Chains A and B, each alone.
Chain A
Amino acid sequence: MKQRTRFSRTVVGGAALSLMLSLSGCGAGSDAADGDTIHVLVYGDAANKVEKELVATFNETSKVKAVLDTIPGADYQAKLQTIINSKQAPDVFFNWGGGSIKPFVDAGLLLPLDPFIAKDPGLKAKFLPSVFNSAVVDGTSYGIPMRGTQPVLLFNNGKVLKDAGVEPPETWGDLLAAVEALKADGVTPIALGGGDRWPTLMWFEYLYDRIAGPELFRKALDGDREAWASPDSRKALGKIKELVDAGAFGTNYDSVKFTDQGSPTLLATGKAAFELMGSWEYSTQQDAHPDFAKSDLGYSAFPSVEGGKGDRANLVGNTNNFYSVLKKTKHPQAVAEFLKLMYSDQFVKAQLGIGNLPTTTNTERFLDTAASPEFAKFQYDMVKAAPAFQLSWDQAYPQSAATPMYQALQQFFNGSMDEDAFIEAMRALPAS
């Protein structure tokens, strides 16, 4: 009996305590009446160093102070979605352009930046057009590039290529020949982190571009679902099948991931010869396999496809990240001033210093100061010369499309879905 009383007392006490805790938790979120600040929300990672510097520079001269808020990487999009239409919404926020801001534009939350640009043409003219355009929604500008560009390149292990007597491929035919030669050498020709699914997507993006040109995807994104059933689309799918069936990726690629270092290690240790990956492969290898990155890591543009409509200079990938502005910001003038810093020399130098490649026109002058000047120049020249730079499909489509898109890509790639079913799945995606 005694014990029972003591037990209930503990329970009651515990419940009261947790009630108090949860109540005080609610209080902490309330606003601390900050009239003269703008909140800048960014994706939390190593690049925040530069953003902090720029905010400090801005605050030196501005009366309205900027406050930098960060959300740890993986949760960024979900958290943003929940706060963007609430009192806690920031004034300026980080995004990927394209489909990542489309729902906010549709909900009337974002401030068109064209008036800013009219006052300061530099906000548009100082950026590479192929990059700037991926944050243009329905002809209106909504984003200013604010980090580095990340085109997708075909990386290789130079030593493995040499041993097999293979050169980085210029054409699709070269690539198929290289696959045969490398297989004969007992090497997996291409490392692929299929478990992450977005690395698989890169192969679709490039083959569709090279065969059908960039227009096919644009049409599909704009709502012309029949584009997926066009002869060019079928031809691209045929090429993907051809490569998979040739054993270019081995058989267990769906169990390999890029994110847990699986596929980069295959490339670095010479178990695989190529990997199609965003430019971050370079810094990934520098971190994990510095010797390999220094001596044997090679890179080239994606090969052309004979008879295809796409230019070999076309790129796919993450064009850049962008700052967008909320309509309800109280200090549009201060925000405009803040955005101007994104093409300043200080910004460019700081971004290059941490290994990012900015996409401003003045970047060229500072390329020698980059962590790896040769690689930075190669990328910058490619991005500058690219007739088209397609934003990754999973970013270009609205977010609700990503999951079904990944499922279809993976299933077509590993053969559990045929061409017609794949086309059907892509047609069913919610376009813009």
Chain B
Amino acid sequence: MTRTATPSAADGTFDKADSPGIGAGRPGFLWAAPAAVFFALFAIVPLIMVAVLSFARWDGLSSPEFAGLDNWKLLFDDPVMIKSLWLSVLLTVLGVLVQTPLSILLGVWAAGHQRNRAVLSAIYFVPMLLSVAAVSVLWRAVLDPNFGVPAQATWLFGDGNLFGTQAGAIGVLVFVSTWQFTPLHTLIYQGAARAVPQVLYQAAQIDGAGTVRQFVHITLPQLRNSIITSMILMVVGGLTTFDTVLILTQGGPGSDTTISAYYMYQKAFKSFDYGSASAIALLLVLVSTLISLIVVRLSGYDKMRSTMEGL
């Protein structure tokens, strides 16, 4: 992400201010070779192998047999698979809806100069530093129906059967990811909010705009590119969520939280059906690419319109 963003930002923004001069030129392809080799070796080659495997039957023991379109046909007839795609999308959408407003508000707040802000921001950043696995295990214990918080707060949790109903389990997954990942997005917004030129606020104050109006009419529009960046991170992260599901719900109750990435894991490493698992993986790649493209198109991110125009 940063690697592609840096040059365009440099070309678009800094050119005007301090041009590096005509003789500088762009770095040759040679400089990108190590990264390109790496990417080819660990991303492109495996991807091709997965694509090939998705047309084969393979249990990891004997050599793979060509299976034609069998895996794909089974995939589209499999109710769990179809459900898992919807669940992936649902979890992603819920994640974006919950995390975006929270992290914008927190980020803008953290960009200010209030008392205790630095201390509170630091504390708030802690979840980001913990591993996803540790966080999931922690919340699993906190949410235990008999010995955790739900046992003490029955007015809120009822019988505490959070992991036993679909709504409860999805709620837990969304909550735990929010707790874990909001700090990252807060950081993005904090940086972006700091970069908003003070002159805009000063002008607005002279015009008599209050805090809320300043937020809606200056801060939010200025954060536009950051919102899109953060949303794409959330969408990609959401569609590939795996560890939280593995530790918190194991796809249950029944198959009610079996999202596609987890279903792929079950097929590959529990059922040893690498053919079907590869088909799911490939489908997930296609769907994620498609969704990312749609987000990029709709948001105009590809054009990278500067928020500094006219300043």
> Which of B31, B60, B62, B162 has most A Cβ within 10 Å?
B60
CB within 8 Å for A12 and B31 given contacts A251-B159, A252-B159, A252-B161: yes
- Is A260 a contact partner of B159 (Cβ separation < 8 A)? no
In the assembled complex, A203 has its CB within 8 A of some CB on chain B: no
A6: shortest Cβ distance to chain B, in Å?
13
Q: Which of A19, A255, A265, A410 makes the CB contact (< 8 A) with B161? A: A255
Chain B 106-145 interface residues, beta-carbon cutoff 8 Å to A: 140-141, 143-145
Q: How far is the CA of A18 from the CA of B80 in the complex (A)?
A: 40
Closest B residue to A16 by beta carbon equals B34
Residues of B within 8 A of A15 (CB): 34-35, 37-38
In the assembled complex, B49 has its CB within 8 A of some CB on chain A: no
CB within 8 Å for A81 and B163 given contacts A15-B38, A254-B252: no
Q: How far is the CA of A414 from the CA of B253 in the complex (A)?
A: 9
- Is A411 a contact partner of B272 (Cβ separation < 8 A)? no
Chain A interface: which of B180-188, B189-197, B208-216, B263-271?
B263-271
In the assembled complex, B255 has its CB within 8 A of some CB on chain A: yes
Residues of B within 8 A of A84 (CB): 61
Residues of B within 8 A of A81 (CB): 59-61, 272
In the assembled complex, B160 has its CB within 8 A of some CB on chain A: yes
Summarize B's interface: helix, strand, loop or mixed: loop
B245: shortest Cβ distance to chain A, in Å?
13
Closest A residue to B172 by beta carbon equals A255
Q: Mark B150-183, 1 if CB is under 8 A from A, else 0.
A: 0000000001111111001000000000000000
Q: Mark A188-204, 1 if CB is under 8 A from B, else 0.
A: 00000011010000000
> Which of B146, B165, B269, B273 has most A Cβ within 10 Å?
B146
Residues of B within 8 A of A416 (CB): 253-254
Chain B interface: which of A102-110, A111-119, A227-235?
A102-110
Residues of A within 8 A of B147 (CB): 262, 265
- Is A260 a contact partner of B141 (Cβ separation < 8 A)? yes
In the assembled complex, A400 has its CB within 8 A of some CB on chain B: yes
Closest B residue to A402 by beta carbon equals B270
Q: Which of B165, B254, B272 makes the CB contact (< 8 A) with A407? A: B254
Q: How far is the CA of A253 from the CA of B165 in the complex (A)?
A: 11
Q: Mark A259-293, 1 if CB is under 8 A from B, else 0.
A: 01010011000010000000000000000000000
- Is A250 a contact partner of B254 (Cβ separation < 8 A)? no
In the assembled complex, A67 has its CB within 8 A of some CB on chain B: no
- Is B27 a contact partner of A8 (Cβ separation < 8 A)? yes
- Is A103 a contact partner of B271 (Cβ separation < 8 A)? no
Q: How far is the CA of A400 from the CA of B276 in the complex (A)?
A: 12
Q: How far is the CA of A104 from the CA of B60 in the complex (A)?
A: 11
Residues of A within 8 A of B141 (CB): 260
Residues of B within 8 A of A260 (CB): 140-141, 144
B67: shortest Cβ distance to chain A, in Å?
15
A130: shortest Cβ distance to chain B, in Å?
28
In the assembled complex, B308 has its CB within 8 A of some CB on chain A: no
Q: Mark B40-82, 1 if CB is under 8 A from A, else 0.
A: 0000000000000000000111100000000000000000100
Q: Which of A11, A82, A401 makes the CB contact (< 8 A) with B35? A: A11
Q: How far is the CA of A403 from the CA of B61 in the complex (A)?
A: 20
B81: shortest Cβ distance to chain A, in Å?
12
In the assembled complex, B20 has its CB within 8 A of some CB on chain A: yes
Chain A: interface size category: 35 or more
A299: shortest Cβ distance to chain B, in Å?
22
- Is A104 a contact partner of B254 (Cβ separation < 8 A)? no
Closest A residue to B21 by beta carbon equals A1
B163: shortest Cβ distance to chain A, in Å?
4
Residues of B within 8 A of A107 (CB): 59, 61-62
Q: How far is the CA of A254 from the CA of B257 in the complex (A)?
A: 13
Residues of B within 8 A of A253 (CB): 164
In the assembled complex, A256 has its CB within 8 A of some CB on chain B: yes
Q: How far is the CA of A12 from the CA of B37 in the complex (A)?
A: 11
Closest B residue to A262 by beta carbon equals B144
Q: How far is the CA of A416 from the CA of B252 in the complex (A)?
A: 12
> Which of B34, B163, B254 has most A Cβ within 10 Å?
B254
In the assembled complex, B24 has its CB within 8 A of some CB on chain A: yes
Residues of B within 8 A of A88 (CB): none
Q: How far is the CA of A338 from the CA of B146 in the complex (A)?
A: 48
In the assembled complex, A78 has its CB within 8 A of some CB on chain B: yes
Q: Mark A217-258, 1 if CB is under 8 A from B, else 0.
A: 000000000000000000000000000000000111111100
Residues of B within 8 A of A19 (CB): 34, 37-38
CB within 8 Å for A410 and B31 given contacts A104-B61, A255-B145, A400-B273: no
CB within 8 Å for A407 and B140 given contacts A399-B272, A400-B273: no
Chain A 408-431 interface residues, beta-carbon cutoff 8 Å to B: 408, 410-411, 414, 416-417
Q: How far is the CA of A73 from the CA of B250 in the complex (A)?
A: 18
Residues of B within 8 A of A195 (CB): 163-164, 250, 252
18 contacts between A and B (CB under 8 A): A81-B61, A103-B61, A104-B61, A107-B59, A250-B159, A252-B145, A252-B159, A254-B163, A260-B140, A266-B146, A400-B271, A400-B272, A402-B271, A403-B270, A407-B255, A410-B252, A414-B164, A417-B254
Q: A85-B60, A85-B61 are in contact. List 9 more A-B contacts (CB 8 A).
A: A1-B24, A103-B61, A195-B164, A253-B164, A254-B163, A255-B164, A262-B147, A271-B146, A410-B252
